[in-house]
Structure 1
Amino acid sequence: MLVGYARVSTREQETRLQLDALRAAGVRRIFEEKASGAAQDRPVLRECLASLRKGDVLVVWKVDRVARSLKHLLSLLDQLDVVGARIKSLNEPLDTSTPLGMYLIQSLGSIAQLERSMIRERVIAGQVAAISRGQRHGRPRTLTDVQEDEVRRLAAQGVRQADIARQLQVSRAVVDRVMNPWRPRYAPQRPVLGPLLNACTKR
């Protein structure tokens, strides 16, 4: 039995192209999901894999629709092997029923992982370059330095955070972040130059 799986990363995207291709390939049972490929838990994918039986073929538009890392891909292949199912990509000549197909799919996963690592390193390098030029990385600050000083002044006078937030027309979380910048969940969005440089050079 052919079992299809289609995925897009966000709710704004559509799976129409994938669905049309799967149906054209003769797939009648299709699991459709809108979730990031990097998500640790994808409920629809889990349901799809649980439905597979011996002899079934998991059909995908491209391999990266079902697995976004080599580790995940190998884990998926192990799950399919346990139940006696195979995987087939419509846009890559891959079929795990053959040794060559298994080799190609593992190689493809390795290349995809390498590409993502290179993209990440380029992003980090860009951040480092921006910081070295004095550009601030991350979301724009909600409050100016003067307003942050005002927050601290009012807090020192015993004014409640909720009242300070109302006076400055910001959320209480913004005020709390100014008063407690050391808290991880409220830390300012300012990358530290040292770790970024280390990340770029450790390879």
Structure 2
Amino acid sequence: MAAPNASPPRPIRGLVGYARVSTEDQATDAQVDELRAAGCRTIHREHGSGASRARPVLARLMREIGAGDVLVVVRLDRLARSVSHLLSVIEDLETRGAHFRSLRDPIDTSTPQGMFSLQVLGAVAQLERALIAERTKAGMKAAMARGKLPGNPGLREHRPEAIRAASAARQQVYIGDLIASASTWLPTVQRMRPQHSWDDVVRVLNHQGQSWTIEKLRRAVHRLVREKIAAPELIKRSPRRPPQDRLMTLVAGIAIADPNLSLREIAAQLERMRERTPRGGRQWAASSVKALLDQARRLGLAVHDPAPGSLAGRATAAEPL
């Protein structure tokens, strides 16, 4: 019998399975059988090392999973490379209204018991990080006392094999970080590119609290395209427009990046960005924003005509990955 104060079970829309093995020589069949027996109709398979951050199948799954879905794995180690990684994935699922379940572990975030187990894991992860930091400091102190220098001796001696290994490791970390953060910036890029310049996209992203340069963003998108995670259309050349059209493309880009903004909210954002009006003023009116959006729409940009107090027009659907 359930406790009187127990939370009601959350609605579950669908079970989505994820099966992973470390090498191409291994098979996911045993995991797939368990996931199907648990009721998963859709199962995503991936071959990748448990220590690697580059999990393109998992990254795509995390972008596609919806509210009410449950991500199901056979064991925790099939999903995450560490406790901190597991907690990060579950936090991302929670923000999307989705849940997580491990068939062989007491983790099911749609139940109070599963959430309690998750809190215990969080405490363990915090202790683990503190112990690792303490051991690292102690080891470095002992090594320096014996006259040993910290770091990779191969790199200090400029050995080619050490340099190649370090470069490959950095690339793995780079692509892993890109995949992990893609949900915060890639949707905006998909909505704006290639109709808008890289400069406009960077300005919109940075106003959302991020920190990009044109070169850094171009490099990131090119890398995701090379890894077949993003569509090649994103890196096509944007159409050339006269300098006087810069404000028009910027306003259209803001509206496309966040379709829920009203004309007044777009005007306030332009003022915070210290953009001058077409006449050189500092204060933007909703009518000025509407005029620029009308101009963008006539030129074929995917912006509808919003009313002054209504939501900004929605752009056409983002290009699929």
Taking structure 2 as the reference length, what is the TM-score of the superposition? 0.36
- Partner Cα distance (1:13, 1:101) in 2: 30
Deviations 1:58-91 (A, max 9, x none): 0100111111212211111111011100001111
- How far does residue 99 in structure 1 lie from its aligned partner after superposition? 3.3
- Report SS of the residue matched to 2:114: helix
Counterpart for residue 81 of structure 1:
94
Counterpart for residue 41 of structure 2:
28
Aligned: 1:104 with 2:104: no
Counterpart for residue 183 of structure 1:
158
- Partner Cα distance (1:32, 1:72) in 2: 19
Taking CA–CA contacts closer than 8 Å with sequence separation of 6 or more, which of the two structures ends up with the larger relative contact order?
1
- Report SS of the residue matched to 1:7: strand
Residues 4-83 of structure 1: pairs in structure 2 closer than 5 A: 4-83=17-96
User: Are 2:52 and 2:81, in contact at CA under 8 Å, matched by a contact in 1?
Assistant: no
Structure 1 runs not aligned, ≥5 long: 122-176, 188-203
- How far does residue 106 in structure 1 lie from its aligned partner after superposition? 4.8
- Report SS of the residue matched to 2:30: helix
**Given residue 52 of structure 1, which amino acid in structure 2 is its aligned partner?**
I
- Partner Cα distance (1:82, 1:71) in 2: 17
User: Are 2:65 and 2:98, in contact at CA under 8 Å, matched by a contact in 1?
Assistant: yes
**Given residue 105 of structure 2, which amino acid in structure 1 is its aligned partner?**
E
Aligned: 1:92 with 2:92: no
User: Are 1:74 and 1:106, in contact at CA under 8 Å, matched by a contact in 2?
Assistant: no
- Partner Cα distance (2:160, 2:120) in 1: 39
Residues 103-182 of structure 1: pairs in structure 2 closer than 5 A: 103-108=116-121, 110=124, 182=157
- How far does residue 93 in structure 1 lie from its aligned partner after superposition? 2.6
Deviations 1:100-154 (A, max 9, x none): 212313545748x96xx99xx9xxxxxxxxxxxxxxxxxxxxxxxxxxxxxxxxx
Structure 2 runs not aligned, ≥5 long: 1-13, 136-153, 163-321
- Partner Cα distance (1:55, 1:102) in 2: 16
- Report SS of the residue matched to 1:81: helix
Identity of aligned residues (%): 48
- Partner Cα distance (1:81, 1:8) in 2: 25
**Given residue 43 of structure 1, which amino acid in structure 2 is its aligned partner?**
P
Deviations 1:12-62 (A, max 9, x none): 111111000001111110100010122112000011111111100001001
TM-aligned CA distance change 1:106 to 1:14, over 3 Å: farther
- Partner Cα distance (2:161, 2:40) in 1: 48
- Partner Cα distance (1:22, 1:184) in 2: 47
Residues 184-203 of structure 1: pairs in structure 2 closer than 5 A: 184-187=159-162
What value does the CA root-mean-square deviation take over the aligned residues? Answer: 3.0
